Structure 1
Amino acid sequence: MPEPKPAPPATPGPGTAAGAPSAPSAPSASGTRHPHGALVVLLLSSTLGIMSSTILMPVLELIRTDLEISATRAGTLLTVNGLTVAVVSPLTGWLVDRVGVRGPMFAGLLLYGLAGGAGLVTDDYTLLLAGRVVFGIGAATAFSATTVALLNGYRGADRDRVMGWRTAATGLGGVLWPILGGALGAISWQAPFAVYLVGIPVGAAALFLFGSSGPARSGPVGERPAEVTTLRAAVAAQPALLGVFALSGVYMVLTYGLLVFLPQRLAELGVHDPAAVSVHVAAVTGTSALVGVAYARLRRVLGVNALLRTAAVLWTAAFLLLGLADARAALVAAAVLVGAGGGVWLTSLTVLVGALTPAPVMGRASSVSSTMVFVGQFLSPLALGPLMAATSISVGHLVLAGGAGALALVLSFVRFPTAQNSPGQEEPAGGTSPYRR
């Protein structure tokens, strides 16, 4: 894949290597540009999304026991924030398209830290649930701003690399946060809530590093075609976006089919220690991180469509292992396969959103994708819980294996457009990116 041509007349920042993706930076009102630390903030913010649930997974059984609640109610503490994200994401995406990324990112991260940390001071289930709803609003706002900053800030091969790095950062967070949650869980089940407070300093850094940029545009007025200004028009121009949105929901249904029920599956095998549970969760996210580092190269070799099919095949094998094997080693192997498939899948779908969506509606398109991800997260335990309760966790995983296999078959006949001149993938002549140096 050829490197995208830089947009004239931008001047390279100090220390920027030729051909290397540069940190997102936006012109401020004074015309100055932000330092490369903005990319660090974006990648760190990306890890907070997976932290929202995984840091509590190692103590989920302790919460259920201490509060004397059902497994479904305990699982809802992990997923209600996802439902909130699903509901409010369209609004946060619209907001980012209207005002830019700086303000929403700061406000979202601040709310994330304050509402997430509230679990430190209450052991009332209703208050915990309400705090998770407010927490979800903050997460949705920060997630929309971060995604738009990355997608509108990079093009072509640069975008592939940066989105791969984002997956790697998310996966690394998925390794470190649950391990930290398991370690803090040895103190009390409330202690892991303290980690959410990290959103406050990250939000402050975003406020400092990002300038007052307005909504993204595809190029200077007079040098661009009439802009697409509604999501409906974007979908009409690229109906494949509907398929991307649908596959975003499938991702979480399958992934949470493992994650939510993994503690119970391990308990059946005699494993109850939160730290031991966290290692299995980390196997999913750690593998996803490794895939993210290699994503740009994988896409060059295989292409997006082949990568999506490969992910579905990996999930099929993973759930067959979960359904048929009883050894802990098999559960670790299944977690690795789920992580590899997830790293390829979610990165590819995010890249497709960027390739198929014009910059002025990127926030709304990415927010719909986020909505579908978190709808899948919320529905996964609600749909699979009764099935597994009526049969067994193994039977539920075999059902998921059948679903993933059917998905692989469908994807063998489906091709998503990935041309480099798709709207939003390359900058038009004379266009400038509001976040690149």
Structure 2
Amino acid sequence: MSIENLNEASILRQPRAVWAVAFACVVAFMGLGLVNPILKPIAEEMGASPSQVSLLFTSYMVVMGLAMLITGVVSSRIGAKRTLLGGLALIIVFAALAGASDSVWAIVGFRAGWGLGNALFIATALATIVSASNGSTAQAIILFEAALGVGIATGPVLGGQLGSISWRAPFFGVAVLMTIALVATAFLLPTTPPSPRKTSVSDPFKALRHRGLRTVAVTALFYNMGFFTLLAFTPFPLDMSASQVGWVFFGWGLLLAFTSVFAAPWLQRRFGTIPTIVGSLILFALNLAAMAVLAEHKTALVVGVIVAGAFLGVNNTLITEAVMGAAPVERPVASAAYSFVRFTGGAIAPWVAGLLGQHVNVHAPFWMGAGVVLVAVAVLLAGRNTLKPDAERPSPGDSTHQAEVLAVGDFD
């Protein structure tokens, strides 16, 4: 992504429809880290255990992973605009219901509905921004990446600040923001026709027959277990206020966004895709191991969370890059298959980490996270010969390549 692209004035002269969808993207990406600061307050008010409140992540990720299998089926039949609006409407309804709930199990269930809405929206948003924007595809991608980064970084802050008022406030806040996004999208985005080719639910499963795609997907599954161990369990040993936890994960989100946009392409050019992924995974595993040893020291945990953002940002970008040449199938099909497998890790890890922290000790979840990330390294190294070499990939600076990478969309 060149400085010239960033400096072109036309990047800011976009139709209102693009800004409406970009705003909705920011709010959608907020949803990932929004609940981090309020996990402990929810547990305290409702008398729930860490493993029970961690199911807010599990239900969200399970449904989002399953829904990725049908997003192509839906959008190819009803069009992108209706898919976007349907996803936004589901997020509004389920976020509001979660905020009005009086039991942890109700919140878990409504977070599942939220995951369905998020899957429908996110899977369609990038293509919509690219098709509706002025200027080059690369400029549209920059806008999308900016929305992703702002959402990931500000989600914990919003959750923390509103959570300091009440744990219900972040849920209602998202519902209000998404309602604004829904109205703006409905009025400003032109109607989009259905696709001439209808996607089948079986297509992603057929794609997983290719060993290269299976290798990257299973690598991402184990990596996501480490990722969501960090995300879902760390607020408990931190034992801070919702606002304080929000600012800690704000630092994490900023570093993740910066390295995903700027550091990852440079490292890829310097060392290659697979070596850089392996290096970032090993460093992330070591980071989790250090957090395991120092789990009773808050300062060490704060530093560990923020530093982890650097490794996660690099890995998120480049493991998505690796998917591009992993199987001779259409990009949306590869995306659905990959996301279905990888989100399984995000669903399992929060619950298991909560159980380990509850029944073993505060160190055990981080040791588990370090171990599964090393398993991801082993899987990737074992199957690296099935992946397309960097020399056969498009240049990282090529706008078509950038669009393809983000079409797969690693939204961890």
TM-score by length of 1: 0.75
Correspondences of 1:165-180 after superposition (within 5 Å): 166=144, 169-180=147-158
2:261 maps to 293
Q: Residue 281 of structure 1 is aligned with which of 236, 240, 249?
A: 249
Residues 259-307 of structure 1, C-alpha deviation per residue, up to 9 Å, x if partnerless?
211121112xxxx311111122223212111112304344333332233
Q: Residue 313 of structure 2 is aligned with which of 338, 343, 348?
A: 343
2:291 and 2:301 in contact (8 A); partners too: yes
Q: Residue 195 of structure 2 is aligned with which of 215, 221, 227?
A: 215
2:57 maps to 78
Q: Are positions 1:68 and 2:44 aligned together?
A: no
Q: Are positions 1:321 and 2:299 aligned together?
A: no
| Greater alpha carbon shift after TM alignment, 394-403 vs 193-202 | 394-403
2:366 maps to 397
1:307 maps to 276
1:112 and 1:139 in contact (8 A); partners too: yes
Residues 195-229 of structure 1, C-alpha deviation per residue, up to 9 Å, x if partnerless?
21222222333342354144288xxxxxxxxxxx9
1:43 and 1:166 in contact (8 A); partners too: yes
Shift of 1:112: 0.9
Q: Are positions 1:244 and 2:223 aligned together?
A: no
1:251 and 1:342 in contact (8 A); partners too: no
1:108 and 1:140 in contact (8 A); partners too: yes
1:81 and 1:133 in contact (8 A); partners too: yes
2:229 and 2:350 in contact (8 A); partners too: yes
Distance 2:276 2:145 in 1: 15
Q: Are positions 1:133 and 2:101 aligned together?
A: no
2:393 maps to 420
Q: Are positions 1:194 and 2:172 aligned together?
A: yes
Distance 2:222 2:377 in 1: 12
Correspondences of 1:349-364 after superposition (within 5 Å): 349-356=319-326, 361-364=330-333
Distance 1:397 1:106 in 2: 39
Shift of 1:328: 3.0
Distance 1:362 1:426 in 2: 15
In structure 2, the CA distance between the partners of 1:186 and 1:323, relative to structure 1 (3 Å rule), is same
2:227 and 2:369 in contact (8 A); partners too: no
Distance 1:410 1:141 in 2: 30
Distance 2:220 2:79 in 1: 24
Residues 160-200 of structure 1, C-alpha deviation per residue, up to 9 Å, x if partnerless?
x8667655543432321211211112221111112212222
2:54 is paired with a residue of what secondary structure? Answer: helix
2:163 and 2:242 in contact (8 A); partners too: yes
Q: Are positions 1:94 and 2:73 aligned together?
A: yes
1:11 maps to none
Correspondences of 1:109-124 after superposition (within 5 Å): 109-124=88-103
1:97 and 1:364 in contact (8 A); partners too: no
In structure 2, the CA distance between the partners of 1:117 and 1:315, relative to structure 1 (3 Å rule), is same
Shift of 1:354: 4.4
Amino acid at match of 2:242: P
1:299 is paired with a residue of what secondary structure? Answer: helix
Q: Hey, which of these two has a bigger chunk of helix by percent?
A: 2
Q: Which runs of 5+ in 2 are unaligned?
A: 402-406, 408-412
In structure 2, the CA distance between the partners of 1:273 and 1:258, relative to structure 1 (3 Å rule), is same
Q: Are positions 1:108 and 2:87 aligned together?
A: yes
Distance 1:347 1:40 in 2: 24
2:351 maps to 382
Indicate the structure (1 or 2) with the bigger Cα radius of gyration: 1
Amino acid at match of 1:245: A
2:404 maps to none
Distance 1:366 1:21 in 2: 32
2:237 and 2:298 in contact (8 A); partners too: no
In structure 2, the CA distance between the partners of 1:98 and 1:278, relative to structure 1 (3 Å rule), is same
Aligned length: 384
In structure 2, the CA distance between the partners of 1:47 and 1:317, relative to structure 1 (3 Å rule), is farther
TM-score by length of 2: 0.79
Distance 1:352 1:330 in 2: 32
Distance 1:20 1:214 in 2: 33
In structure 2, the CA distance between the partners of 1:97 and 1:366, relative to structure 1 (3 Å rule), is farther
Amino acid at match of 1:292: S
Distance 2:232 2:325 in 1: 32
